[in-house]
Amino acid sequence: MDVRLTDEQQMMVDSAREFLQATCPLATVRQWEHLPDGYPAQIWARMAEMGWLGAVYPESYGGMGLTNLDMTLLMREMGRVALPGPFLSTVLLASRAVLEGGTEAQKAALLPRIAAGELLLSFAFVEESARPEAATVRTTARLDHGSYVLNGTKHFVAFAEQADRMLVVVRTREAGDPEHGLTMFLLDARAPGIEHVSLGTLALQPEAKVLLHDVRVDAADVVGRVDHAWEILDPVLQAATAIVCGYMTGIAEAAHELGVSYSKERVQYGQPIGAFQAIQNYLATAWAKNTMGEYLGYYAAWLIDQGIPSREAVSTAKAFVGYAAVESTQLATQLHGGLGATVDARTTPFLRWAKQLQQTLGNCQYHEKVVAAEILDRDPSGFDEKHALALV
Amino acid sequence: MDFRYTPDEQQFRLEVRRFIAEHCPREIRGFHEIHAEHVALEMAFLKKMAERGWLGAAFPREYGGLGGERAPMAEYILIDELHHADLEGVAVTLTYIVGIIGNTLLQVGSADLKQEFLPRMLNAELRFAIAYSEPDSGNDIASIRTRAVDDGEDFLISGQKRFITCADTSDYLWTLVRSEAGSSRHKGLSIVLVPSRQPGVTIQVFEMMNGIQTCEVYLDEVRVPKRYLVGVRGHGWQHLMEALARERMTMINFKAVSEPFERFVQWVRVAEMDGERLASDPVVRQSIANMHVKIAGGKMMQLIAGARTADKNYVPTLEAAACKMYRAMLSWEKATLAMDIMRSHGLLTVDTPGAPLNGWWAAEYGWAGHELSGAGGMDLNRKIIAQQGLNLPRWSN
């Protein structure tokens, strides 16, 4: 058993941290909040140059073949500076679905351009329930003279109006089993019949409600097999959920560090507030929970990389980190007193991000529901013996 | 990163699992700490483990150990599997012997002391109790008043120790004393092995809330040869700090929280009341999953510490403090949840007819109060994290 990073991972983390600290100081990140697209295009271009946008692709598509654990480590560094951008929707969700399910022609046409930072994809999956499960999908597609006609409403589609194309998940067949009968399509983001309702969000990242009115799609723009999208989507969603735990860990840690440093500087009652036991108790507890969450995220990503059943671990990690990141950022805000409640407070972006990502890809309640099914409806005994796992 | 045991470690773990199933007497399962009437059974069981060399798996051969070549994590796995088999009491005893006292002796004890004690310890021939706290010194251990007066070849030790669990069945008391006259606080302390039946030692048993026994120990000019001094005279505090980190890591193993809860989840999976499965109630499902998620954090911290201590020079001060703090945070919370789900059935005590899980949780509810104070409880461990990990200012001298 070994919980250390490899030398390669450590080098990747060190160079990412160096780059992000140099290019994304908090004052700059705060200015980006006013950009019309909600993220800095010049940093996105630099990330493309460094290979981050195609990092999970195999080398044959211009990628680096990074593991899910590597990506979690990288996302943690982005979280530490609260870097905004369509990384989750384009890189971890939509393009990964194309990578896993697309034809050679689709992959060759899309992936190198995404990796180069020339193309953004949005990911239109959840509907009104906002839950990342197959049953949420009610948008339909019917076959009509060799092409498909799409109708329905997709909710909370990040960067829908900024992206060039949209990967949309629809129901092509009512099969009784909600996980059967789903199909993915690639749409031009401005195809006739698509209507966007712009949504502002807590973390200041653009989203839209996307209404599809008789949107006509060519059968060649199906991604993966008709009716069998869930076989591709489920593992993509699982991996993205584990990886996003890394970003949330970075958010939680950075906010905690702000809380610690402020507690050492701020003097009240004649001493730094960090000398009071009450403040120390808060910070000690948050440190412990953040460290636990950090490694639960790594563990989930590592299990996926190893091909070991991981649904319980992914949901446990997402729920744990969801609670921990929200608590940690709330604490940092609280410790800054009245200043913490101002819009310009240095803790504000972290507070916003933690809550937003806690709700993204399933909130804590949702993931606890998944955990309940895993531990109560299946018998997990013997699992650790079979896989020689040390976390039992 | 690799969250798997190596093939050697996994083989050892399965061997321990089989051994326990085969050799462990039923009477010693299910207890937080071993009652006096079960001591002989427990020692016989430990002796069987000792015969396989397991107590000294990580110890040098000259003291009867296996030389540490079996697997760096053997000690961790052994404790882990004892918890898995509902043998927390045995895990605690083993921790006293090997985890705390054995390891500290090995690190700082004199050659003579190691030769006198380690072979018998690793052979399960000796029992110990840990004697730090006093009526006026709980978390603030540096304020102890038990003193050791220099009397030529011996120390004369006088004072009073409180909450000294297992003192009544012990052979030696691992005792923190003030050895340097006129010293104060962290300076001038020493650790001395006091024979439990030496003239001048009086041990009184009293009961904790759930029937577990602990002891008050009175020391009245107890004569102890100076060779029973552990480590450097006057440097007891440093030795104590390292021993405490080991104690939190093993005795305060987070498995003592997670394993009983997992046994509870197994019970919920099949339990029915009035013909309805408890596991089909949405409130039960959500609250159990929520506790599972919380407990996973503690298990992970335990694992991180375990992996890092494969390096014998690593003292997991922060990880151990985090585990212990977190265990205290969840103590009543998990017991309250389990008892709420079991409704009035959860109030039934050990050996009551129909008590789910033989009344373990009713006992746990009484024990939970101890969780909040034992081994520094919640707040001392937060202080350690805040001051040693986060470098926040000290608020105590």
Per the CB < 8 A criterion, the answer to whether B331 and B368 are in contact is yes
The closest of B131, B138, B141 to B216, measured between CA atoms, is: B131
Shortest CA gap A84–chain B (Å): 28
CA-to-CA distance for B328 and B372, rounded, in angstroms?
5
**Maximal C-alpha separation, chain B:** 75
CATH class of B130-239: mainly beta
Q: Which chain A residues have a beta carbon less than 8 Å from that of B389?
A: 284, 287
CA-to-CA distance for B25 and B32, rounded, in angstroms?
16
- Enumerate long-range contacts of B45-51, CB under 8 Å, 24 or more apart: B45/B90, B46/B90, B46/B93, B46/B94, B46/B97, B46/B124, B47/B123, B47/B124, B48/B19, B48/B23, B49/B19, B49/B78, B49/B124, B50/B122, B50/B123, B50/B124
Residue A40 lies in a domain: yes
Residue A304 lies in a domain: yes
Q: Which residues of A216-245 are buried (b: 16+ CB within 10 A; e: fewer)?
A: ebeeebbbbebebbbebbeebbbbbbbbbb
The complex scores an ipTM of 0.96
Q: Are residues A248 and A369 in the same domain?
A: yes
CB contact under 8 A, A320 and B293: yes
Instruction: Indicate the number of domains in chain A.
Output: 3
Mean pLDDT value across residues A312-331 = 98
- Sequential pLDDT tens for chain B (397 residues): 999 998 988 999 999 999 999 999 988 888 776 777 888 999 999 999 999 988 888 888 889 888 766 556 788 888 889 999 989 889 888 888 888 899 899 989 999 999 999 999 999 999 999 999 999 998 889 999 999 999 999 999 999 999 998 999 999 999 999 999 999 999 999 999 999 999 999 999 998 877 778 899 999 999 999 999 999 999 999 998 877 776 666 656 788 889 899 999 999 999 999 999 999 999 999 999 999 999 999 999 999 988 887 777 787 889 989 998 999 899 889 999 999 999 999 999 888 999 999 998 988 888 777 777 766 678 888 999 999 999 999 987 6
CB contact under 8 A, B393 and A274: yes
Name the region of A386 (left: φ>0; alpha: ψ -120 to 50; beta: rest).
alpha
Q: Which residues of B161-196 are buried (b: 16+ CB within 10 A; e: fewer)?
A: bbbbbbbbbbebbbbbbbbbeeeeeeebbbbbbbbb
Give residues 181 to 200 of A whose Cβ lies within 8 Å of B.
Answer: none
User: Residue A291 is part of a domain; what is its CATH number?
Assistant: 1.20.140.10
Per the CB < 8 A criterion, the answer to whether B392 and A274 are in contact is yes
CA-to-CA distance for A345 and A339, rounded, in angstroms?
6
Q: Are residues A44 and A190 in the same domain?
A: no
* B387 phi/psi in degrees, rounded to 5: -90, -35
DSSP of A283-307: HHHHHHHHHHHHHHHHHHHHHHHHT
Could you say which of A272, A299, A371 has the minimum Cβ distance to residue B3?
Answer: A299
Q: A342: which 2 tokens?
A: 């101002």
CA-to-CA distance for A143 and A221, rounded, in angstroms?
13
Q: Are residues A223 and A139 in the same domain?
A: yes
Shortest CA gap B394–chain A (Å): 6
DSSP of A237-279: HHHHHHHHHHHHHHHHHHHHHHHHHHHHH-EETTEEGGGSHHH
Q: Which of A227, A255, A287 is the last residue of a domain?
A: A227
CA-to-CA distance for B208 and B59, rounded, in angstroms?
35
What is this structure's pTM?
A: 0.95
**pLDDT tens track for A24-63:** 999 999 999 999 999 999 999 999 999 999 999 988 887 8
Total beta-carbon pairs less than 8 A apart between chain A and chain B = 171
Q: Hey, where are the domains in chain B?
A: 7-126, 130-239, 252-389
Q: Which chain A residues have a beta carbon less than 8 Å from that of B265?
A: 375-376
CB contact under 8 A, A3 and B3: yes
Q: What is the pLDDT of residue B72?
A: 66
Q: Are residues A237 and A343 in the same domain?
A: yes
Q: Which domain holds residue A127?
A: 122-227
CA-to-CA distance for A374 and B337, rounded, in angstroms?
19
Give residues 18 to 57 of A whose Cβ lies within 8 Å of B.
Answer: none
Label residue A392 by pLDDT band (50, 70, 90): low
C-alpha distance from residue A79 to each of A49, A287, A289, A350, B85 (Å):
20, 16, 17, 9, 41
> What residue in A sits closest to B298 (Cα-Cα)?
A292
Shortest CA gap A4–chain B (Å): 5
Shortest CA gap A385–chain B (Å): 8
Per the prediction, chain A carries an average pLDDT of 96
CA-to-CA distance for A308 and A392, rounded, in angstroms?
14
Q: Are residues A103 and A129 in the same domain?
A: no
User: Residue A156 is part of a domain; what is its CATH number?
Assistant: 2.40.110.10
Per the CB < 8 A criterion, the answer to whether B348 and B362 are in contact is yes
Question: How do A140-144 and A147-158 pair as beta strands?
Answer: antiparallel
Mean pLDDT value across residues A220-236 = 98
Residue A105 lies in a domain: yes
Q: Which residue, chain included where needed, has tokens 């500290």?
A: B104
CA-to-CA distance for B48 and B384, rounded, in angstroms?
38
Q: Are residues A202 and A105 in the same domain?
A: no
The closest of B62, B87, B66, B65 to B8, measured between CA atoms, is: B66
Per the CB < 8 A criterion, the answer to whether A74 and A92 are in contact is no
CA-to-CA distance for A94 and A240, rounded, in angstroms?
10
CA-to-CA distance for B320 and B210, rounded, in angstroms?
26
> What residue in A sits closest to B390 (Cα-Cα)?
A260
Question: How do B172-178 and B154-162 pair as beta strands?
Answer: unpaired
Q: Say whether residue A59 is in contact with chain B using an 8 A CB cutoff.
A: no
Q: Are residues A50 and A136 in the same domain?
A: no
Q: B265: which 2 tokens?
A: 């989840």
> What residue in B sits closest to A316 (Cα-Cα)?
B293
Q: How many beta carbons lie within 10 A of that of residue A343, not counting itself?
A: 7
Per the CB < 8 A criterion, the answer to whether A126 and A155 are in contact is yes
Q: Which residues of A113-145 are buried (b: 16+ CB within 10 A; e: fewer)?
A: bbbebebbbbbbbbbeeebbbbebbebbbeeee
Per the CB < 8 A criterion, the answer to whether B91 and B54 are in contact is no
Shortest CA gap B220–chain A (Å): 37
Q: Which of A178, A208, A227 is the last residue of a domain?
A: A227
Per the CB < 8 A criterion, the answer to whether A149 and A142 are in contact is yes
Q: Which chain B residues have a beta carbon less than 8 Å from that of A275?
A: 392-395
Angle formed at CA A70 by CA A108 and CA A124, multiple of 5 degrees:
50
Residue A1 lies in a domain: no
Q: Are residues A73 and A108 in the same domain?
A: yes
* Burial class, B120, CB count within 10 angstroms (exposed 0-12 / middle 13-18 / buried 19+): middle
Q: Are residues A218 and A254 in the same domain?
A: no
Residue A383 lies in a domain: yes
The closest of B254, B302, B327, B311 to B3, measured between CA atoms, is: B302
Shortest CA gap B249–chain A (Å): 15
Q: What is the pLDDT of residue B64?
A: 83
Shortest CA gap A305–chain B (Å): 11
CB contact under 8 A, B379 and A390: no
Q: Say whether residue A116 is in contact with chain B using an 8 A CB cutoff.
A: no
Helix (H) or strand (E) holding B82: helix B74-84
Q: Which chain B residues have a beta carbon less than 8 Å from that of A268?
A: none
Per the CB < 8 A criterion, the answer to whether B135 and B160 are in contact is yes
Per the CB < 8 A criterion, the answer to whether A304 and A325 are in contact is no
Q: Which chain A residues have a beta carbon less than 8 Å from that of B392?
A: 260, 263-264, 274-275, 279-280, 283
Mean pLDDT value across residues A276-289 = 97
CB contact under 8 A, A391 and B300: yes
Q: Say whether residue A274 is in contact with chain B using an 8 A CB cutoff.
A: yes
CB contact under 8 A, A390 and B5: yes
CA-to-CA distance for B81 and B77, rounded, in angstroms?
6
- Tell me, letter by letter, the H, E, C secondary structure of A30-84: HHHCCCCCCCCHHHHHHHHHCCCCCCCCCHHHCCCCCCHHHHHHHHHHHHHCCCC
Could you say which of B14, B322, B383 has the minimum Cβ distance to residue A288?
Answer: B322
CB contact under 8 A, A280 and B269: no
Name the 3-class secondary structure at B265: helix
CA-to-CA distance for A32 and A30, rounded, in angstroms?
5
Q: Say whether residue A320 is in contact with chain B using an 8 A CB cutoff.
A: yes
Q: What is the pLDDT of residue A134?
A: 97
CA-to-CA distance for B220 and B202, rounded, in angstroms?
8
Q: Which chain B residues have a beta carbon less than 8 Å from that of A287?
A: 322, 385, 389-390
Q: Are residues A17 and A92 in the same domain?
A: yes
Q: Which of A119, A146, A173 is the last residue of a domain?
A: A119
CB contact under 8 A, B393 and A272: yes
Residue A392 lies in a domain: no
Tell me which of B81, B270, B300 to substitute to probe the interface with A (most A C-beta atoms closer than 10 Å). B300
| CB neighbour list of residue B325: distance below 8 Å, 6 or more residues apart | A284, A285, A288, B378, B381, B382, B385
Q: Which CATH number fits domain B7-126: 1.10.3720.10, 3.30.1360.120, 1.10.540.10, 1.25.40.80?
A: 1.10.540.10
Q: Are residues A202 and A270 in the same domain?
A: no
CB contact under 8 A, A1 and B310: yes
Helix (H) or strand (E) holding A123: strand A121-124
> What residue in A sits closest to B305 (Cα-Cα)?
A3
Q: Are residues A365 and A255 in the same domain?
A: yes
Name the 3-class secondary structure at B308: helix
Residue A127 lies in a domain: yes
User: Residue A23 is part of a domain; what is its CATH number?
Assistant: 1.10.540.10
Q: How many beta carbons lie within 10 A of that of residue B153, not counting itself?
A: 9
Q: Which CATH architecture has domain B252-389?
A: Up-down Bundle (1.20)
**pLDDT tens track for A68-104:** 999 999 999 999 999 999 999 999 999 999 999 999 9
Residue A55 lies in a domain: yes
